[in-house]
């Protein structure tokens, strides 16, 4: 059988490529490539073995094909445009393929597996005619690790093939060493027909289908990396299903190392929907970044340990400026290998929204020639760059990358945080009373406003469980049950925190936090992990005390923190919190019939605490109305 597959492929590739494929003792890999080639009908097949010459060839071909342009002044910088209808993850056309008789939760986009395969294969038929099919072998997680997952992607996009080189660890050698029984993830992608600007022409036929039962992702008529790079959120869906079978967690987590007193470093994971502060938290100055997007978490000897699935960043460039994000801004404006997508190009430079300077009055962007004052067909102003404009770079380009990135054992998680865009309810930071309370109250109840990172109506409030709801390849109740049980099996579960950088004054509508304040919240969480900061027991969680925050604001940001600001930020808003609990409960009762009873008991307990507090203190309760527990004395504070 193996020889039959190889003979079928031989006519479509060079002798060198044929020998590279023969070196892989995997009939399943060969079968997938044969079926992809027969379906998509490329003119040739290029097998990348990750040698420097072949990686350089891919970078060069991305420019030769005009999918990227190197017409930028900074060495190593290129840019790519996705086209006006391909600027983010497209929920409407991203679907799980579900076998007959099975179903996922109603909140998850899904369709019949047989129907979906017929449709997507029909769209992929002959899609690569006139092009080369590029085969990339990758691994998720560090090499030679319990976390490692083998992956391969077949694509006709040199831009996609270049992007994965920056975002993931090379995997050709890992496939050479793998046994025939090794499980792996597969992606088949075609950008489809391209117009003269080298962007996908048939956007109305865009489809991204996940056959999680076969560990396969199909993607067609799209170039946006979140839809076309199979091992971003698409393979996360496959990993969640694998983790369910094997008893670990695949999460939409950033990870960072936070420095504390005495030279210690504490690792935190954090889940945030796109454009809600995830990357800016992971990139806080003076700390280290370990992961930006996706993390695998395992119980290793009773310890919660985690790794970065990726080795690069596909980050939102909007609002990156020298004042708020000095480190990443410096990297983005220095020589080095970076792909910019959907920015404005003028004077051989990339320009983006919120970069801290005046933008040019005209230039080239994802829609073609742009000039100030332009409007679209609906009469709306056309911005110079897209709000979801991105940069792609390898983590090794960052001076603050954490040294444990390639550790096959991962790192021990000291704490986990969940955050969204909650203008009305939760304060800036709070700690859960227990693993179960934190997971439910801050993770399962994560409520946010939709942003430009998803192709749909913006500014809609929605529940987004653990910031992973779109990607869960299980019934949501089962996923949440797995989460609750995972913590129960640990010797000591990490404390769980809720953060909210977007709280507004209910009267003026103004934000109550500066963007840099998040560094103080992170430092307080680090101290709480080690019992070096006190906390106030409130109905929604443990809150920081004023004296600890005042000291941290002075030490971390060099600014005064007033009692007035503290009270405004941490006042318990009883009506808004009760309404939030009602929305959360309604969502789960209507959409998640298998929701575990623990979810509703945690919600009910929080509701009772809020109602009891209102009877004593009213609708809006100053944090000083509650007693501080375990507060360090003045000498201890001096040692923070």
Least Cα distance to 55 among 131, 198, 158, 148 occurs for 158
**What pLDDT, in 10s, does the model give residues 166-175?**
999 999 999 9
Q: How confident is the model at residue 379 (pLDDT cuts 50, 70, 90)?
A: confident
Dihedral angle sign, alpha carbons of residues 231, 237, 242, 243:
positive
Claim: this prediction has a pTM higher than 0.85 = yes
Q: Is the pLDDT of residue 627 over 50?
A: yes
CA distance 274 to 640: 33
> What is the predicted pLDDT for the residue at 63?
97
Taking residues 181-208, what's their average pLDDT? 93
Q: Is the pLDDT of residue 562 over 50?
A: yes
Place of tokens 């919660």: 304
Q: Is the pLDDT of residue 391 over 70?
A: yes
**What pLDDT, in 10s, does the model give residues 343-365?**
999 999 999 999 999 999 999 99
Residue 124: CB partners within 8 Å, gap ≥ 6?
39, 40, 188, 190, 218, 220
Active site residue 22: no
Place of tokens 């939709």: 450
Q: Is the pLDDT of residue 417 over 60?
A: yes
> What is the predicted pLDDT for the residue at 450?
61
- 509 is written with which tokens? 């509508």
Q: How confident is the model at residue 276 (pLDDT cuts 50, 70, 90)?
A: confident
> What is the predicted pLDDT for the residue at 1?
54
In this structure, are strands 216-220 and 184-190 parallel, antiparallel, or unpaired? parallel
Q: Is the pLDDT of residue 400 over 60?
A: yes
Q: Is the pLDDT of residue 632 over 60?
A: no
CA distance 273 to 615: 35
Q: How confident is the model at residue 107 (pLDDT cuts 50, 70, 90)?
A: confident
**What pLDDT, in 10s, does the model give residues 113-161?**
999 999 999 999 999 999 999 999 999 999 999 999 999 999 999 999 9
Helix (H, G, I), strand (E, B) or coil at 478: helix
- 485 is written with which tokens? 């049980």
> What is the predicted pLDDT for the residue at 335?
97
CA distance 174 to 144: 8
DSSP string over 87-134: SSB-GGGEEEEE-TT----TTS-EEEHHHHHHHHHHHHTTTTTTSEEE
Are 136 and 152 within 8 A, CB to CB?
yes
Say what angle helices 158-167 and 52-64 make with each other, to 10 degrees.
Answer: 140
CA distance 303 to 326: 35
- Cross-strand pairs, 504: 511
Residue 120 CA, distance from chain mean position: 25
- 107 is written with which tokens? 């909140």
**What pLDDT, in 10s, does the model give residues 218-249?**
999 999 998 999 888 888 989 999 999 999 99
Are 600 and 585 within 8 A, CB to CB?
yes
Q: How confident is the model at residue 8 (pLDDT cuts 50, 70, 90)?
A: confident
Compute φ and ψ for 339, nearest 5 degrees.
Answer: -105, 120
Most distant CA pair in the chain: distance in Å?
80
Q: How confident is the model at residue 459 (pLDDT cuts 50, 70, 90)?
A: low
CA distance 253 to 193: 35
Neighbours of 614 (CB within 10 A): 18
**What pLDDT, in 10s, does the model give residues 250-269?**
999 999 999 999 999 999 99
Domains of the chain: 2-67+93-247 (3.40.449.10), 252-313+403-638 (3.90.228.20)
Q: Which residues of 440-478 are buried (b: 16+ CB within 10 A; e: fewer)?
A: bbbbbbbbbbbbbbbbeeeeebebbbbbbbbbbbbbbbb
Neighbours of 609 (CB within 10 A): 17
> What is the predicted pLDDT for the residue at 636?
37
Q: Is the pLDDT of residue 564 over 70?
A: yes
- 228 is written with which tokens? 């076309």
- Cross-strand pairs, 418: 271, 498
Average the pLDDT over each of 93-107, 176-190, 517-531 and give the range with the smallest value. 93-107
- 182 is written with which tokens? 């090794």
CA distance 302 to 244: 18
Q: How confident is the model at residue 629 (pLDDT cuts 50, 70, 90)?
A: low
Taking residues 599-622, what's their average pLDDT? 97
Higher pLDDT among residues 450 and 198, named by residue: 198
Identified catalytic residue from 276, 304, 357, 582 = 276
Taking residues 601-612, what's their average pLDDT? 98
> What is the predicted pLDDT for the residue at 205?
95
Dihedral angle sign, alpha carbons of residues 353, 355, 361, 366:
negative
Q: Which residues of 526-542 are buried (b: 16+ CB within 10 A; e: fewer)?
A: bbbbeebbbbbebbbbb
> What is the predicted pLDDT for the residue at 167?
96
Query: H or E stretch including 172?
Result: helix 172-177
CA distance 352 to 321: 10
Q: 95 in the Ramachandran plot: left (φ > 0), alpha (ψ -120 to 50) or beta? A: beta
CA 164, 166, 170 angle in degrees (round to 5)? 65
Average model confidence (pLDDT) for the chain? 92
Q: Is the pLDDT of residue 461 over 80?
A: no
Residue 481: CB partners within 8 Å, gap ≥ 6?
594, 596
DSSP string over 177-209: H--TT--EEEEEEE--SB-TTSSBS-GGG-EEE
**What pLDDT, in 10s, does the model give residues 41-82?**
999 999 999 999 999 999 999 999 999 999 999 999 999 999
Dihedral over alpha carbons 58, 48, 185, 106 (to 10 degrees): 20
Q: Is the pLDDT of residue 323 over 90?
A: no
- 319 is written with which tokens? 């609002």
């Amino acid at each position: 059988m193996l020889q039959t597959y190889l003979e079928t492929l031989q006519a479509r590739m060079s002798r060198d490529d044929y020998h590279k494929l023969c070196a892989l003792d995997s009939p399943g890999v060969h079968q997938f490539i044969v079926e992809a080639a027969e379906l998509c009908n490329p003119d040739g097949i290029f097998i990348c073995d990750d040698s420097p010459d072949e990686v350089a060839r891919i970078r060069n071909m991305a420019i030769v094909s005009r999918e990227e342009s190197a017409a930028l002044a900074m060495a190593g910088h290129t840019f790519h445009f996705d086209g006006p209808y391909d600027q983010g993850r497209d929920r409407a056309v991203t679907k799980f393929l579900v076998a007959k008789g099975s179903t996922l939760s109603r909140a998850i986009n899904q369709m019949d597996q047989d129907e979906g395969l017929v449709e997507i294969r029909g769209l992929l038929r002959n899609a690569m005619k006139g092009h080369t099919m590029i085969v990339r072998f990758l691994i998720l997680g560090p090499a030679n690790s319990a976390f490692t997952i083998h992956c391969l992607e077949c694509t006709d996009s040199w831009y996609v093939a270049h992007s994965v080189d920056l975002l993931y660890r090379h995997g050709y050698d890992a496939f050479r060493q793998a046994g025939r029984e090794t499980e792996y993830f597969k992606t088949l992608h075609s950008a489809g027909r391209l117009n003269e600007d080298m962007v996908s022409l048939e956007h109305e036929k865009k489809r991204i289908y996940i056959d999680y039962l076969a560990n396969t992702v199909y993607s067609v008529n799209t170039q946006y990396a979140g839809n076309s790079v199979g091992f971003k959120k698409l393979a996360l869906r496959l990993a969640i299903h694998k983790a369910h079978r094997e008893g670990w967690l695949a999460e939409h987590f950033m990870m960072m190392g936070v420095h504390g007193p005495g030279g210690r470093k504490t690792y935190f994971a954090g889940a945030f929907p796109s454009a809600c502060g995830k990357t800016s938290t992971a990139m806080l100055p003076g700390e280290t970044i370990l992961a930006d997007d996706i993390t695998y978490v395992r119980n290793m000897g009773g310890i919660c340990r985690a790794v970065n699935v990726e080795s690069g960043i596909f980050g939102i460039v909007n609002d990156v400026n020298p004042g708020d994000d000095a480190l990443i801004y410096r990297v983005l404006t220095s020589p080095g290998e970076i792909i910019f997508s959907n920015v404005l190009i003028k004077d051989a430079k990339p320009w983006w929204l919120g970069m801290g300077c005046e933008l040019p009055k005209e230039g080239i962007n994802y829609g073609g020639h742009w000039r100030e004052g332009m409007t679209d067909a609906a009469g709306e102003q056309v911005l110079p760059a897209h709000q979801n404009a991105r940069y792609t770079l390898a983590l090794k380009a960052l001076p603050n990358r954490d040294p444990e990135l390639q550790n096959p054992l991962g790192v021990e998680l000291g704490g986990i945080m969940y955050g969204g865009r909650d203008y009305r309810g939760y304060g800036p930071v709070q700690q859960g009373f227990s693993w179960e309370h934190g997971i439910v109250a801050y993770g399962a109840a994560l409520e946010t406003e939709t942003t430009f990172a998803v192709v749909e109506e913006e500014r809609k409030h929605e529940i987004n469980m653990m910031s992973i709801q779109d990607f869960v390849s299980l019934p949501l109740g089962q996923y949440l049950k797995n989460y609750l049980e995972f913590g129960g099996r640990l010797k000591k579960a990490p404390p769980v925190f809720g953060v909210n950088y977007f709280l507004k004054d209910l009267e003026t509508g103004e934000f109550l936090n500066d963007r840099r304040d998040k560094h103080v919240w992170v430092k307080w969480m680090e101290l709480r992990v080690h019992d070096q900061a006190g906390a106030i027991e409130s109905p929604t969680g443990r809150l920081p005390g004023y004296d600890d925050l005042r000291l941290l604001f002075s030490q971390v940001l060099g600014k005064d923190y007033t009692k007035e600001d503290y009270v405004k930020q941490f006042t318990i808003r009883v009506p808004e919190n009760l309404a939030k609990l009602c929305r959360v409960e309604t969502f789960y009762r209507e959409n998640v019939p298998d929701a575990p009873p623990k979810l509703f008991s945690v919600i009910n307990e929080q509701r009772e605490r809020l109602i009891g507090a209102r009877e004593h203190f009213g609708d809006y309760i100053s944090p000083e109305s509650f007693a501080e527990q375990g507060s360090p004395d003045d000498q201890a504070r001096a040692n923070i």
